[in-house]
Amino acid sequence: MNTQEVIALFDEYVIGNYGRLPRVITKGQGNWLWDLDGNKILDMFPGWAVSGIGHCHPKVVEAIRAQAGELLHMDNTFYNIPQGKLAQLLSERAFGGKCFFCNSGAEANEAAMKLARRHTSKEKYKFITAERGFHGRTFASVTATAQPKYHDGFLPMLPGFDYVPFNDIDALHEAFSEETAAVLIEPIQGEGGIREATPEYMQTIRDLCDEYGALMILDEVQTGLGRTGRWFGYQHYEVTPDIITMAKALGGGVAIGAMMARPQIAASLIPGTHASTFGGNPLACAAAIAVIEAIEEANLLDNAVKTGDYTRQKLDALKDKYPVIDHIRGKGLMIGLQLTTPGAEIVSACLDKGLRINCTQENVLRFMPSMIVTTEEIDQAAAILDDVLGRGDQI
């Protein structure tokens, strides 16, 4: 099949809910993609942060092969070894919590919100979430996503959500009440434009949750599994949350999500209260174990810090050269370039030159390369962006 034939197939049989670029990707290896027309693309936004250790990491591929030959799926009627091992690895790298496994970030957030309602007292049913946050597309997670564009056409949203401006401590105080079950925020807003929570904001959430008997839930779907230089984004702060959710990079390309809760809170999910048919299946868990081992064997947390700093230097140099870059934000390999103009055409011009980046919130370019990115690859990416920005009005 050629590119046009594949697109025609989609037009006829696949629901058009994504704005797709007219390329068919056939192969991914490390930080590179290949399309059906033979183009090679340097991927600085691999799988929207799913391929956190690059495409088709050999350790993950090998773990999937080995597990596929033993036991692909086993329902939660029984125990299986990879699920237990993965829960232990995650718990030991976070706050000693217990895990529930599912298949996506939205599902992990659903699980967290259900647990918060079930664990807290009856009058507590409300969630406080932050403007520009992103938590997924299922009904509760998209209601938690305080961005009107994602609610358009789906009203009314679920009851019980209070939205506050991100990093606004006064608004947080005002929003809290005896009805608050939990606060749900991202430590660094990803889709919202790479915006970090301040230490004071995190501490205030912790204090108010303790004061009101509410739970602090951190959505680590994008920040989790090492991209910021620590296993989880909250580890850059002095606070410990009650619940974290994760997905994306956890499976190295295989669908898996997880919620981790402090053991005494996790105890509220007794049999029959929540479930997922595929959740914690051996194949996905084996892949996730391989991801964690690969990160540790190659010191990829350190690499995220080093290559993150290097990327920042390169991008800072471009900022000095091009006024269209207002400033640069982020941590480790989660980097946003705040532009003074919309960024879609820059992204598209970069892709034409073989570089994939992303634009969010209309004018924030996202650089989120994998943790195995090299300085040479960053140089190549920066050179392409330099070239594209240098053409200025031709974009």
Supply the minimum distance, in Å, between the C-beta of residue 2 and ligand PLP: 30
Of these, 219, 224, 280, 377, which contacts ligand PLP (CB under 6 A)?
219
Residue 222 contacts ligand PLP per CB under 6 A: yes
Q: Which residues are catalytic?
A: 134, 219, 248
How many Cα neighbours within 13 Å face the side chain of 177? Answer: 11
Helix (H, G, I), strand (E, B) or coil at 334: strand
Of 111 and 290, which CB lies nearer to ligand PLP in the complex structure?
111
Stretch that binds ligand PLP, among 14-22, 217-225, 337-345, 365-373 (CB under 6 A): 217-225
Residue 105 contacts ligand PLP per CB under 6 A: yes
Residue 104 contacts ligand PLP per CB under 6 A: yes
Helix (H, G, I), strand (E, B) or coil at 85: helix
| C-beta of residue 357 within 8 angstroms of C-beta of residue 350 | yes
Count Cβ atoms below 10 Å from residue 266 Cβ, excluding itself: 18
Of these, 221, 259, 284, 350, which contacts ligand PLP (CB under 6 A)?
221
Supply the minimum distance, in Å, between the C-beta of residue 278 and ligand PLP: 13
Supply the minimum distance, in Å, between the C-beta of residue 130 and ligand PLP: 11
DSSP at 228: T
For ligand PLP, the nearest residue by Cβ is 105
Stretch that binds ligand PLP, among 216-224, 361-369, 372-380, 382-390 (CB under 6 A): 216-224
| Dihedral angle over CA of 132, 137, 140, 143, nearest 10 | 40
Of these, 130, 185, 246, 247, which contacts ligand PLP (CB under 6 A)?
247
Task: Write the binding mask 277 to 306 for ligand PLP: x where contact by CB under 6 A, - elsewhere.
Answer: ------------------------------
Of these, 95, 134, 232, 234, which contacts ligand PLP (CB under 6 A)?
134
Contacts of 99 (CB under 8 A, 6+ apart): 86, 87, 90, 91, 258, 259, 260
Question: How many amino acids of this chain bind ligand PLP (CB under 6 A)?
Answer: 15
- Find the helix or strand (DSSP H, E) in which 187 lies: none
Task: Write the binding mask 23 to 52 for ligand PLP: x where contact by CB under 6 A, - elsewhere.
Answer: -------------------------x----
> 295: closest CA among 241, 346, 332?
332
Residue 361 contacts ligand PLP per CB under 6 A: no
Output the CA angle 225-227-231, nearest 5 degrees. Answer: 40
Count Cβ atoms below 10 Å from residue 169 Cβ, excluding itself: 15
Contacts of 6 (CB under 8 A, 6+ apart): 24, 36
Residue 136 contacts ligand PLP per CB under 6 A: yes
- Distance, in Å, from the CA atom of 217 to the CA atom of 241, rounded to the nearest integer, reads 6
Of 105 and 330, which CB lies nearer to ligand PLP in the complex structure?
105
- Distance, in Å, from the CA atom of 100 to the CA atom of 276, rounded to the nearest integer, reads 9
Q: From the centroid of its chain, how far is CA 336?
A: 14
Contacts of 297 (CB under 8 A, 6+ apart): 59
Residue 190 contacts ligand PLP per CB under 6 A: yes
| Dihedral angle over CA of 15, 21, 27, 33, nearest 10 | -150
Of these, 186, 196, 242, 377, which contacts ligand PLP (CB under 6 A)?
186
Of 231 and 384, which CB lies nearer to ligand PLP in the complex structure?
231
Helix (H, G, I), strand (E, B) or coil at 256: coil
Of these, 135, 195, 206, 314, which contacts ligand PLP (CB under 6 A)?
135
Of 52 and 105, which CB lies nearer to ligand PLP in the complex structure?
105
- Distance, in Å, from the CA atom of 180 to the CA atom of 117, rounded to the nearest integer, reads 9
Supply the minimum distance, in Å, between the C-beta of residue 385 and ligand PLP: 23
Of 248 and 314, which CB lies nearer to ligand PLP in the complex structure?
248
**Can you read off the two tokens belonging to residue 344?**
């879609």
Please give the residue ranges that form the binding site for ligand PLP (CB under 6 A).
48, 104-106, 109, 134-136, 186, 190-191, 219, 221-222, 247
